C-alpha cells in the first residue's frame, strides 16, 4: 500500500532519513515511534508530499507520490486523511464547517448534504453537539476529534496521524486510541500513526517501527517489539517503564 | 504551485560580496514566486462567483472596503486640508488663493489619493493578511488545505485579490472626494475662498486623464499589496516571531514597491 524505497532526506548538514526502506500493508495500523527530531513527522510528510525526498522513491499503491505534481498530486492526496499534531482547524469556521470543508471546496455537493455528512462524521468521533462551535470553544482532545472527523469525511483509504495523543491527558489519549482502532475496524482504512506514546503504540499498532538516526532499526508486532534485543528498542522501552520499573518502586526510601 | 516549502539551509559565507549576491538572488526568487502566486490567483478569478468562493469574496470585500472607511476618512480629510493650507498660503502671497481648488484636485486625483489610500490599506489590510496567513502557515492550516486538495491560492489569495482590485479604486475615489471637501473647508475658513469658487476652479482644470491614471495606480497598488502580503504570509516560519517579521516585512516591502511603481506610472503617463 505504502512503499518507501531507499529514501534519504537531509536538512542542512543533518541527515533526517537515511536510505529508508519499508512497506506498509493495506488495512494495518503501522505505528512509527522514536525520540524527538528523529524524522517521524518528516516520514509521514513525505507520504503526502509535503516534503520531497532527496533520494529514493515513495509509492502509494501504484502511484509514485514522490514525483507527482499538479492534478496527479491532488488525486493522490485525496486518498489520504491527515490528522495534524495541532489539529490545524481553520479558526474562523465552526467545527461543522471545518469537517465539511473538503467536500464544500472540492465537490459540487449541496450544502445540506455536506452538513449531514459532517454531522455523521462528528457522531462517529463521539462529538454530536459541537457542530456550531468554533475551535477556540473546544478542548484540545475535542479539537483532535474534529480534525479526525475532517480527515475521514472524504472516506480516505489511508489515515495519517501525527502525534494524535500529544498534549492530551492519559484518559483522553486512550479515547483517541480507541477511536483510531474503531475507525480501522469500521472503515477498513490503513493507518499510519506517529507518536511518542509507547502505551498508545502498543495498544493500537499491528506493527511498530522504531526510527533512530534516519533508519528504522526495528519493525515488528507489539509482542515482538517488547521482546526485542535491539539496544535502541531496550532504551526506549526502559524510558517508558515498560521493561524497567521506576527507581522509586525498586528502591523505596 | 506548491505553497508548503521545504526548509532551506544555506551555508554561511564570510565573503561580503557572496552574501550580497545571495541576497539579491533570493530577493529575485521571492519576487518571482510572489508573481507566480499572483498570476495563479488571477487564473482562479473565474471561480469567484461559484458557490464555494462567493461568500469568501464578499467577506473580503467587506473587510477591505467597509472596515477601512473610518481611517481613510480621517486621513483623506486631513490630507486635503494640509494640501489646501500649504498651497493656499503660498498662493495668497500672489493673491491667487482662488486656485487652490485646482491644486488640491489635481494633486489628489493624480498622486496623493491613490498613494495615501495604498499606504493605509497596506498598513491595515496588508499587514492583517500577512498575519492571518502567517499564523495559518505556522499552525499547519495551509498544509492541511493542501492535503485536502484545496488550493490555498484559490481559497485564500483569490478572494483577497478580488477585494483589493475592486476596493482600491473605490476607496481612492472616496479619498479624492473627502480630500477635496477637506480642502474646501480650509479654503472657506482659512483662506476666504467660497465653496462655489473652490469647486468651480477644481472642476474647470481637472482632467479625466488624472482620474483614470489615479484609478489605474490604485488597481496596481491593490495587486502589489495582495502579492506582498500573501507571499509573506505563506513564507512565514518560526512561530509567533516569524508572524511578526512577516507583518513588518509586508508593510516595508509594500510601501517601497508602491513608491517606486507610483513614480514609474506617473513617468509613463506624464512625459
pLDDT tens for chain B, residues 1 to 271: 555 567 777 778 888 999 999 989 989 999 999 999 999 999 999 988 888 888 899 999 999 999 999 999 999 999 999 999 999 999 988 988 888 999 999 999 999 999 999 999 999 999 999 999 999 999 999 999 999 989 999 999 999 999 999 999 999 999 999 999 999 999 999 998 999 999 999 888 888 899 999 999 999 999 999 999 999 999 998 889 999 999 999 999 999 999 999 999 999 998 7
| DSSP character string of A172-239 | HHHHHHHHHHHHHHHH--EEEEEES-HHHHHHH-SEEEEEETTEEEEEE-HHHHHH---HHHHHHHHH
SS3 A247: helix
Residues A172 and A50 in one domain: yes
Residues A19 and A35 in one domain: yes
Residues A169 and A125 in one domain: no
- B149 and A77 within 8 Å at the Cβ level: the answer is yes
> pLDDT tens-digit profile of A204-253?
999 999 998 888 999 999 999 988 888 888 888 887 766 555 566 666 65
Give residue A148's domain range. 92-155
Look up residue A5 and give its three cell numbers. Answer: 524505497
Q: How far is CA A59 from the centre of its chain?
A: 18
Residues A74 and A170 in one domain: yes
Taking CB atoms and an 8 Å cutoff, what residues of chain B touch A50? 4, 143, 146-147
Look up residue B229 and give its three cell numbers. Answer: 502580503
In a domain, A84, yes or no: no
Residues A63 and A107 in one domain: no
b/e burial code for range A13-43 (CB count within 10 A of at least 16 → b): eebbbeebebebeeebbbbbbbeeebbbbbb
Residues A172 and A232 in one domain: yes
Taking CB atoms and an 8 Å cutoff, what residues of chain A touch B143? 50, 84, 88
Specify the pairing of strand A29-33 against strand A190-195. Answer: parallel
SS3 A92: coil
Q: pLDDT at position B51, please?
A: 80
A70–chain B Cβ distance below 8 A for any pair: no
A107–chain B Cβ distance below 8 A for any pair: no
Distance from CA of B147 to the nearest CA of A (A): 6
Residues A163 and A75 in one domain: yes
Best CA proximity match to B129, nearest among B63, B210, B39, B36: B63
Q: Please, which residues have CB within 8 angstroms of residue A76's CB and are 6 or more apart in sequence?
A: A48, A49, A60, A63, A65, A68
- A105 and B155 within 8 Å at the Cβ level: the answer is yes
Q: pLDDT at position B98, please?
A: 87
Q: Using H for helix, E for strand and C for coil, what is the string for chain B? A: CCCCCCCCCCCCCCCHHHHHHHHHHHHHHHHHHHHHHHHHHHHHHHHCCCHHHHHHHHHHHHHHHHHHHHHHHHHHHHHHHHHHHHHHHHHHCCCCHHHHHHHHHHHHHHHHHHHHHHHHHHHHHHHHHHHHHHHHHHCCHHHHHHHCCCCHHHHHHHHHHHHHHHHHHHHHHHHHHHHHHHHHHHHHHHCCCCHHHHHHHHHHHCCHHHHHHHHHHHHHHHHHHHHHHHHHHHCCCCHHHHHHHHHHHHHHHHHHHHHHHHHHHHHHHCC
How far apart (Å, rounded) are the C-alpha atoms in residues A94 and A134?
4
Q: Please, which residues have CB within 8 angstroms of residue A95's CB and are 6 or more apart in sequence?
A: A89, A122, A127, A130, A131, A132, A133, A134, A135, A138, A146
Taking CB atoms and an 8 Å cutoff, what residues of chain B touch A88? 139-141, 143-144
Number of domains chain A contains: 2
Residues A30 and A149 in one domain: no
Q: List the CATH number of the domain containing A69.
A: 3.40.50.300
Contact at 8 Å (CB) between A31 and A195?
Answer: yes
Dihedral angle sign, alpha carbons of residues A143, B147, A173, A42: negative
Distance from CA of A225 to the nearest CA of B (A): 32
- Residue of chain B nearest A53, judged by CA positions: B6
SS3 A141: helix
Contact at 8 Å (CB) between A147 and A87?
Answer: yes
A164–chain B Cβ distance below 8 A for any pair: no
- A77 and B6 within 8 Å at the Cβ level: the answer is no
Bridge partners of A29, per DSSP, are A191
Q: pLDDT at position B1, please?
A: 53
Distance from CA of B7 to the nearest CA of A (A): 7
Distance from CA of A135 to the nearest CA of B (A): 13
Taking CB atoms and an 8 Å cutoff, what residues of chain A touch B4? 50
In a domain, A56, yes or no: yes
- Residue of chain B nearest A10, judged by CA positions: B9
> What's the N-to-C CA distance of chain B in angstroms?
39
**Which residue do the cell numbers 533526517 mark?**
A16
SS3 A42: helix
pLDDT tens for chain A, residues 1 to 253: 899 999 999 988 888 999 999 999 998 999 999 888 888 999 999 999 999 999 999 999 899 999 888 889 989 999 999 999 888 999 999 999 999 999 998 888 888 999 999 999 999 888 888 999 999 999 988 998 899 999 999 989 999 999 888 877 888 888 888 888 888 888 889 999 999 888 889 989 999 999 988 889 999 999 999 888 888 888 888 877 665 555 666 666 5
CB pairs under 8 A between A and B: 52
Residues A60 and A100 in one domain: no
In a domain, A39, yes or no: yes
In a domain, A116, yes or no: yes
Best CA proximity match to A34, nearest among A231, A234, A243, A236: A236
Taking CB atoms and an 8 Å cutoff, what residues of chain B touch A80? 147
In a domain, A87, yes or no: no
- Residue of chain B nearest A50, judged by CA positions: B4
Closest Cβ–Cβ partner in A86, A91, A106 for B150: A106
Residues A73 and A163 in one domain: yes
Closest Cβ–Cβ partner in A11, A13, A78 for B149: A78
Contact at 8 Å (CB) between B98 and B253?
Answer: no
How far apart (Å, rounded) are the C-alpha atoms in residues B159 and B136?
16
How far apart (Å, rounded) are the C-alpha atoms in residues A194 and A79?
18
| Residue that finishes a domain, picked among A155, A185, A206 | A155
In a domain, A248, yes or no: no
Look up residue B9 and give its three cell numbers. Answer: 539551509
Best mutation target, A46, A102, A103, A112, to test chain B (most B CBs within 10 A): A102
Taking CB atoms and an 8 Å cutoff, what residues of chain A touch B147? 48, 50, 77, 80, 82
- Residue of chain B nearest A110, judged by CA positions: B51
The structural domains of chain B, with segments of one domain joined by +, span 32-269
Residues A70 and A140 in one domain: no
- B144 and A78 within 8 Å at the Cβ level: the answer is no
Best CA proximity match to B126, nearest among B219, B48, B228, B17: B228
In a domain, A249, yes or no: no
How far apart (Å, rounded) are the C-alpha atoms in residues A124 and B155?
28
How far apart (Å, rounded) are the C-alpha atoms in residues A170 and A183?
20
Distance from CA of A231 to the nearest CA of B (A): 32
| Residue that finishes a domain, picked among A104, A120, A155 | A155
Taking CB atoms and an 8 Å cutoff, what residues of chain B touch A77? 146-149
Look up residue B233 and give its three cell numbers. Answer: 504570509
Q: Which secondary-structure segment (H or E) carries A56?
A: strand A55-60
Amino acid at each position: 500500500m505504502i512503499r518507501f524505497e531507499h529514501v534519504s532526506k537531509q536538512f542542512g548538514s543533518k541527515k533526517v532519513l537515511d536510505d529508508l526502506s519499508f512497506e506498509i500493508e493495506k488495512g494495518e495500523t503501522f505505528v512509527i515511534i522514536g525520540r524527538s527530531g528523529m524524522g517521524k513527522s518528516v516520514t509521514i510528510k513525505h507520504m503526502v508530499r509535503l516534503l520531497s525526498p532527496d533520494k529514493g522513491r515513495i509509492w502509494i499503491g501504484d502511484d509514485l507520490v514522490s514525483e507527482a505534481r499538479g492534478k496527479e498530486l491532488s488525486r493522490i492526496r485525496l486518498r489520504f486523511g491527515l490528522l495534524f499534531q495541532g489539529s490545524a482547524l481553520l479558526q474562523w469556521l465552526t467545527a461543522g464547517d471545518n469537517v465539511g470543508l473538503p467536500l464544500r471546496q472540492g465537490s459540487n455537493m449541496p450544502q445540506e448534504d455536506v452538513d449531514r455528512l459532517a454531522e455523521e462524521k462528528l457522531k462517529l468521533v463521539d462529538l454530536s453537539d459541537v457542530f456550531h462551535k468554533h475551535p477556540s470553544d473546544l478542548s484540545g482532545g475535542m479539537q483532535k476529534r474534529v480534525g479526525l472527523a475532517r480527515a475521514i469525511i472524504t472516506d480516505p483509504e489511508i489515515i495519517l496521524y501525527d502525534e494524535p495523543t500529544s498534549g492530551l491527558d492519559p484518559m483522553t489519549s486512550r479515547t483517541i486510541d480507541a477511536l483510531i482502532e474503531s475507525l480501522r475496524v469500521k472503515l477498513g482504512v490503513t493507518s499510519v500513526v506517529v507518536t511518542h506514546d509507547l502505551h498508545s503504540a502498543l495498544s493500537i499498532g499491528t506493527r511498530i517501527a522504531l526510527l533512530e538516526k534516519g533508519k528504522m532499526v526495528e519493525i515488528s508486532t507489539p509482542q515482538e517489539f517488547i521482546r526485542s534485543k535491539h539496544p535502541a528498542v531496550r532504551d526506549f522501552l526502559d524510558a517508558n517503564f515498560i521493561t524497567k520499573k521506576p527507581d522509586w518502586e525498586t528502591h523505596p526510601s | 504551485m506548491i505553497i508548503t516549502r521545504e526548509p532551506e539551509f544555506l551555508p554561511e559565507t564570510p565573503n561580503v560580496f557572496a552574501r550580497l549576491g545571495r541576497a539579491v538572488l533570493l530577493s529575485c526568487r521571492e519576487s518571482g514566486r510572489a508573481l507566480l502566486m499572483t498570476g495563479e490567483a488571477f487564473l482562479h478569478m473565474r471561480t469567484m462567483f461559484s458557490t464555494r468562493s462567493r461568500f469568501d469574496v464578499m467577506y473580503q470585500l467587506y473587510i477591505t472596503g467597509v472596515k477601512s472607511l473610518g481611517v481613510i476618512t480621517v486621513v483623506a480629510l486631513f490630507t486635503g486640508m494640509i494640501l489646501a493650507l500649504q498651497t493656499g498660503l503660498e498662493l495668497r502671497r500672489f493673491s491667487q488663493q482662488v486656485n487652490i481648488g485646482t491644486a488640491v484636485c489635481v494633486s489628489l486625483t493624480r498622486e496623493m489619493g491613490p498613494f495615501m489610500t495604498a499606504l493605509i490599506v497596506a498598513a491595515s489590510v496588508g499587514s492583517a493578511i500577512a498575519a492571518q496567513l502567517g499564523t495559518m502557515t505556522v499552525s499547519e492550516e495551509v498544509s492541511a488545505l493542501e492535503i485536502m486538495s484545496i488550493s490555498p491560492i484559490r481559497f485564500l489569495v483569490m478572494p483577497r485579490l478580488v477585494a483589493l482590485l475592486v476596493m482600491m479604486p473605490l476607496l481612492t475615489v472616496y479619498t479624492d472626494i473627502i480630500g477635496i471637501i477637506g480642502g474646501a473647508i480650509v479654503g472657506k475658513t482659512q483662506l476666504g475662498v467660497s465653496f462655489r469658487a473652490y469647486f468651480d476652479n477644481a472642476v474647470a482644470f481637472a482632467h479625466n486623464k488624472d482620474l483614470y491614471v489615479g484609478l489605474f495606480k490604485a488597481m496596481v497598488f491593490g495587486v502589489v499589496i495582495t502579492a506582498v502580503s500573501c507571499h509573506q504570509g505563506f513564507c512565514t516560519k518560526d512561530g509567533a516571531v516569524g508572524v511578526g517579521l512577516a507583518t513588518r516585512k509586508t508593510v516595508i516591502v509594500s510601501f517601497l514597491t508602491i513608491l517606486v511603481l507610483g513614480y514609474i506610472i506617473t513617468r509613463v503617463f506624464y512625459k
